[in-house]
Chain A
Amino acid sequence: MSETICAVATPPGRGGIGIVRVSGPACRDVAQALLGFVPSPRIATLADFRVIDGEVLDSGIALYFPAPASYTGEDVLELQGHGSPIALDRVVSYILEQDVRLANPGEFTERAFRNDKLDLAQAEAVADLIASASAEAARAATRSLSGEFSRRVRELDQSVLTLRIYIESAIDFAEEEIDFLGDREQHDQLAAMEGLVKELIERSTAGLTMQIGLDVAIAGDPNVGKSSLLNQLLGEDRAIVTSTAGTTRDTLHGELSIDGLPVRLTDTAGLRLSEDPIEVLGMKRAEAALEKADCVLWVVEDADENAAPPEEYRVKTLIVRNKCDLTGSRPGFLGEESFRTCALTGAGLAELREGLKRVAGFRTGSDAFAGRPRHITSLKRAHGALLNAARELSARQGELVAENLRVAHDCLGEIVGVTTSDDLLGEIFATFCIGK
């Protein structure tokens, strides 16, 4: 890999800091040309970025990571300048005049991967990191990137392997006086693994939700305050709010972030019989929004006795008893999935936000993994197989315990790489003295 590559590493157009990253053997030359010196390895150094003996393009922090102790495994130079797209562009253009080409999308990560700096799961997590829309999701992605997700799955994979060594030995080497099927220990090990997978699923699912966020539809009868609720949650006058029933004729959207959890709100047209063609169209869109929502806020007037949402809602539904200023009842969380609010004043909305976080399985960034849907599917299948294995172990069906453990192992292998039967046999021979 002899080419040196360069690109702006921060998202275009945002932020107060813009980072230019250079990776490859020409890094020292680039530093010499642009800074007039090569910064000490891994020490943040204030410097002017300038054309040799000429004008200053920008100034900021320069960082030099010699190979192999860098993100890509190659020499890396990072220039943290000011966020201005024009300044960044000038720096990059100047670097490209040295023996450097522009990096392809994802090429830094690819090089890191190729230089064995990342395993596949980590590389995928980097892809997630880049795509992360929120700070919490970025934190979850970082944890996976640091290898914790990989490490946890690998540990689990190892536990399954260890148990399989015993079970498969008992089957294939029946005359070696190895029979562990009745051991209490095997039951305990299975139960522990099952718990671990379950936790991994929860944490990965939370991480996934942190990235993709929650689609929330606000629904309810006309004029119960749906649009006011949307406005209050968004903190802006997004919807036109009047006291005339049917004001919202189309769906209105808005995005907000609850402690980093991206929430996309859709205010649906009030559901009522109408002959106004525009309003009917609006209600059709409302139905569509309800179908793809992860969660529905069913808004009713607090004074209304019958607060039950329509039965056909299959998604998670939170009941919002609005206009509590009219009944004089205390706003807040009412238990189960009910809330009392006043959308005009914002009373009770803090509790509602917490409710949405619970729906998302919100965990603080220290606790969530950047799960990928594929990983979660594999983990869920592994979980099912481990439950079956425990059942068959109780029935002392050795070959079926083995079958379920094989399936579980294969599922985990989908994340961290498969263990072949030959690998398994190798472990058996290393563990037991087999052989007549």
Chain B
Amino acid sequence: MKYPTAFDVIVIGGGHAGVEAALASARVGASTLLLTQAIETIGQMSCNPAIGGIGKSHLVREIDALGGAMAIAADQAGIHFRTLNNSKGPAVRATRAQADRVLYRNAIRQVVERQANLTVYQDMMIDLTLKSDRIVSVTTRLGTEIEGAAVVLTTGTFLGGRIFVGKQQHSGGRAGDPASLELSEKLRTLPLAAGRLKTGTPPRIDGSTVDFSKLEAQPGDEPRPVMSFLGSRDMHPQQVSCHITHTNAETHEIIRRALDQSPMFTGEIEGVGPRYCPSIEDKVVRFAERDQHQIFVEPEGLQTTELYPNGISTSLPFDVQHEAVRTIRGFENAHITRPGYAIEYDFFDPRGLMPSLETKNIENLFFAGQINGTTGYEEAAAQGLVAGLNAARKVAGQTAWVPQRHEAYIGVLIDDLTTMGANEPYRMFTSRAEYRLRLRQDNADLRLTPVGRELGLVPEDRFNVFTARRDRLDVCNKVLARTTVHLNSDLANKLSNETGEGISKDVSLLDFAKRPGVRAEHLTASGVFSDKDEAFLVQALIDVKYDGYLRRQDQAIERSREQMGVRLPGDMDFAGIDGLSNELREKLENIRPSTLGRAASIPGMTPAALSLLSVHAKRHSGIRKTA
């Protein structure tokens, strides 16, 4: 049976990657179908109920700057906001929102339902049809064949998903939802390199059985940050506190005794788990010297007492979970509502993808999210946006758009994945970005909204808000550059009094602002700017203070653009290059970098080896020309 209409782009999956993929594709004008096995779970947060965090909120702001849904949904669903790294400098400052799961899901579903060009259909994809290595349609469990010029697969943990609790295991995509088994088998027949990864969740706890008086309360930050460039505090629902407690020696002892019942230690799980998000049994074994581990007790929502004890994800048997949880302070009488579990799922080596996220071997098939070996809602959403956009562009006969490493964390994410692959679930950290000082939360819109507008991703109302903000920022910057602080003038005296910085000769306000003690409120208090400019000045001063570093990075970007853009031929014989170490040769043969820049990011690479590569690339192209 054929579905009555054909689509430009079919997006499989309604999680964070699928939603942004479908929305992006539809925003740029492609007729788009979002195919999901359960409409109720569109926008579901399967793991912890939080959006953002260090490195992650950078991605969220970029998605937002490109017209995506995640940031506004977080503002509409956020019940606890914090600014992280407040003391460590603006480049690494980040925002995190605890979100009410139901409010978040509703916010996302509303955006999806209101989006023009986007159709939602509930069924499960089990098969796909290729015509000479190009995907042309997908087939559902009900036997419906749906034609799509391009398909974006966002299968999350569902592909061949297997859930482990102690020695019990069963097939599943998420607690309570079935796995995609037929599709997994089908995809494994295609020329794609499959692997298995693992992740886990903690047991959920009924808050009415927890003694909060024994926990340390952690209220949200004031002033309360907002996530979206279009967001405001008025959007936020009621705010609540999180809590902190700790495991103890008794907890660890119970876990240690039960290790022979953990599928991670008995070898039943072959998939690799993330090192930065270890299970509690992992922590107890690997860091045996620690006598306690921190647990963040996060509310699941406003309308439920259920809690998410972040920090004790586990795949131990239920009885051990129960016993261990009850040793924790405040949890002495805690009731587990859902046991924690580990889940193992299929992913495909992302080095099999082009930077557009289209698979190299099957034309018009795009992958986004955990299927590419990543973890996290924000990483998934970022890839979804890029894959959905590029699927639509491919169908429209346009070239792919992918931000570069110096333009966006999204660029870092995609470059890392497609160059280095994923040895473990990939999560974003600010230390992955070599241009960290320029890739900030505060300037994500300045970096991406103009290009997003050109691509058709950014609607007019958002763009108008952006231009107004940018124009005011420009005015502030111009006033800073053009104002001279004359020696002994009223202004000089006011500024000196405010900042404690002496002024011994005429100086431009810009140069004065470079001094470490000068802050935005000093400039408004001096009368040069009005109070409503303070937010803009805060941002202007970041660039002023980073100026020397940013200029040096500009030079580095320019240099690397020239050198690193050198293309390495697709059939280059890396093994035949004399003077490279065996180790490097092997890595080059595996990764087959397309440019010198990509080769440079391979661990252990040296300038001498790079110059060898460039010489050989040159020689190679010379031979081909004359041949």
Contacts and interface: CB of A to CB of B under 8 A. Distances in A.
Q: Do A and B come from one complex?
A: yes
Contacts of B278: 433-435
A171 B276 contact: no
Contacts of B265: none
Nearest to B244: A175
B609 interface: yes
Interface stretch (A52-60, A287-295, A331-339, A391-399): A391-399
Interface residues of A, number: 47
B92 A436 contact: no
Given A171-B85, A398-B92, A399-B437, A433 B283 contact: yes
A116 interface: yes
B287 interface: yes
B436 interface: yes
Contacts of B294: 175-177, 436
Contacts of B602: 420
Interface string B270-313: 00001111100001001100100110100000000000001100
A433 B290 contact: yes
Contact of A435 (B92, B283, B416, B582): B283
A174 B85 contact: yes
B278 to A, nearest CB: 5
A410 to B, nearest CB: 8
A327 interface: no
A381 to B, nearest CB: 11
A116 B608 contact: no
A116 B584 CA distance: 12
A433 B437 contact: no
A387 interface: no
A114 B310 CA distance: 50
A421 B55 CA distance: 14
B91 interface: yes
A120 interface: yes
B92 A419 contact: no
Interface string A406-433: 1000000111111111111110011001
A399 B91 contact: yes
B121 interface: no
Interface string A344-371: 0000000000000000000000000000
A163 interface: no
Contacts of B416: 422
A417 B605 contact: yes
A331 to B, nearest CB: 49
B401 interface: no
A374 B607 contact: yes
B516 interface: yes
A172 B431 contact: yes
B48 A418 contact: no
Contact of B276 (A398, A424, A429): A429
A367 B606 CA distance: 26
Contacts of A120: 581, 606, 608-609
A170 B88 contact: yes
B84 interface: yes
Contacts of A419: 603
Contacts of B609: 120
A399 B603 contact: no
A308 B89 CA distance: 53
B549 interface: yes
A400 interface: yes
B204 to A, nearest CB: 15
B361 interface: no
Contacts of A110: 578-579
Given A171-B88, A424-B431, A403 B606 contact: no
Contacts of B436: 399, 402-403
A124 interface: yes
A403 B278 CA distance: 28
A40 B353 CA distance: 57
A418 B606 contact: yes
Contacts of A402: 431, 436
A166 interface: no
Among A114, A116, A422, A434, residue most surrounded by chain B Cβ atoms (within 10 Å)? A422
- A-B residue pairs, 8 tightest by C-beta: A399-B89, A429-B275, A398-B88, A433-B287, A436-B310, A435-B277, A172-B429, A168-B431
Given A418-B600, A433-B283, 16 more contacts: A113-B581, A120-B606, A172-B429, A172-B431, A174-B54, A174-B88, A399-B436, A399-B437, A414-B606, A420-B420, A421-B429, A421-B433, A422-B420, A434-B278, A435-B274, A435-B311
